[in-house]
Amino acid sequence: MALGAVRRSRGRGSPARPPGPPARQAFGALLAQRRPPHRFLAETVRAYGGLAHIRVAGEHAYIVGDADLVWLIFVTHGRDTMKGRALQRAKPLLGEGLLTSEGELHRRQRLLVQPAFHHTRIAQYAEQMAAAAEEHCEGWVDGRHVDLAEDLSALTLDIVGRTLFGADLKGDAREVGQALTEVIDGFRQQLLPGAALLDRLPLPSRRRTRGAIERLDAIVWRLIAEHRAAGDTGDVLSMLLQSREQGSGMSDRQVRDEVMTLVLAGHETTANALAWAFWHLSQRPDQASWLHAELDSLPHRRLGWGDLPALPRTRAVIAESLRLHPPAWTIGRRLLADLEVGPAAGGWLLPAGSICLASQWVLHRDPRYWAEAESFTPTRWLDADGSFSQRAPGQPRGAWFPFGLGSRVCIGEDFAWTEAVLVLATLARRWAPAVDPQWPEGEDPGVTLRPRGGLPATLQLR
């Protein structure tokens, strides 16, 4: 084949496809029977290279394991794609919110929500984030055994309530946590062949999922009703309701979808990132001491926005946790047009309608792009002068995307960084939770990458 040629077909009407694992292996991974899906993706990349084909759940899909090809598909040609199967199946919960909507609706909604995440607002949120974290750790008791993942989820839900909705959600933490777990369990079944048919059957699992969504809906609609009664309070929900009243096209249902998306996406991922960070610190006392040296140099007062520049090590710990245990562990896009990939990727034609999958968990651990790829090494994120930089490790652009890529990058990225850094600094300057040494390290790759079965830990004062 001449250099630069693209393999277009094996025969009449049948596009040539790169090699990949048999369908039974892909289906087994989807069910998480033989191996977890993120590890299946990693094994596929190791075995077949930067582009592999699988046929699963009635779809032709391509596993993308090359950083340059990730950038080509998800950024350069990002506007020629739409959300993949997984997020489309999340619509019963998230509706047409920012995570699931497409096209003009998504652009309009993003413009409406974007002001809530302007840096001037995040500076104001920072004070509330630190206050919530400080109040939370006041309730910690030395020697108490807790599920740290659940505990941190309650804290991040409180922060989302305070900052974005001007509401107290602390009393809803257990309800949200339990309902979200039930929804995530049901979400796996949504990816199976015939899921649409199963939805119409009175199966117990479907009833549990629908009941969990109804419980989450009740909380969201309560927030909306309270805001309507209180009037404009200057938060993001007031802004969304105001846009509705001014006739800019946001229906009550659309307000509900955006609130649901912000409540769930705004606390679940950050809680997971913090839980994994504490797990790593518990396993690596040397890195914990390195972090504590920075925290012990801070003024003895509540932290805030102005302290962020003095926390490069804290930010590096968060970055390294996001690298090894990215809460958003895979992204998928459906191609809206045929896409040719060059000879470096094998010279293939990817047909319109195909799904492209790229896993943060896989790319973030690839030894081609990261020195000591499996090692928790926060120092990799610091420049020679000790300042934090996401470019410090020297990885290519498509090898680092904890918040997604291109035009669909997470709208709350700066919010999440600010929250994670301030919460970790506030808690870790006083506490060093010790994860139960008997906990078998396990990852639960559902909608997000959770610690499997929670994260049992003992709270310990430093």
Q: Measured between alpha carbons, how far is 344 from 61 in angstroms, rounded to an integer?
A: 19
Residue 246: the pLDDT is 53
- CATH number, span 23-458: 1.10.630.10
295-311: b or e for each residue (b if 16 or more CB lie within 10 Å)? beeeeeeebebebbeeb
**pTM for this predicted structure:** 0.90
Residue 152: the pLDDT is 97
146-166: b or e for each residue (b if 16 or more CB lie within 10 Å)? bbbbbbbbbbbbbbbbbbbbb
Residue 112: the pLDDT is 80
Residue 298: the pLDDT is 94
Q: Measured between alpha carbons, how far is 275 from 272 in angstroms, rounded to an integer?
A: 5
Helix, strand, coil share of the chain (percent; to 5): 55, 10, 35
- pLDDT, averaged per 10 consecutive residues of the chain (462 residues), comes to 44 72 67 71 92 84 95 93 73 80 83 85 94 96 97 94 87 86 69 52 73 89 85 79 62 85 87 97 97 95 96 98 96 92 74 94 97 98 97 97 90 95 98 94 88 96 94
Q: Measured between alpha carbons, how far is 290 from 304 in angstroms, rounded to an integer?
A: 21
HSE, side-chain direction, 13 A CA sphere, residue 234: 5
CA nearest 369: which of 343, 390, 397, 342? Answer: 397
Structural tokens at position 401: 């995307």
Residue 10: the pLDDT is 45
Residue 3: the pLDDT is 33
Domain ranges of the chain: 23-458
> What angle separates helix 236-245 from helix 103-113, to the nearest 10 degrees?
120
Q: Could you tell me if 376 and 119 are in contact, meaning their C-beta atoms sit under 8 angstroms apart?
A: no
Three-state DSSP at 332 gives: strand
Pairing state between β 59-64 and 145-147: unpaired
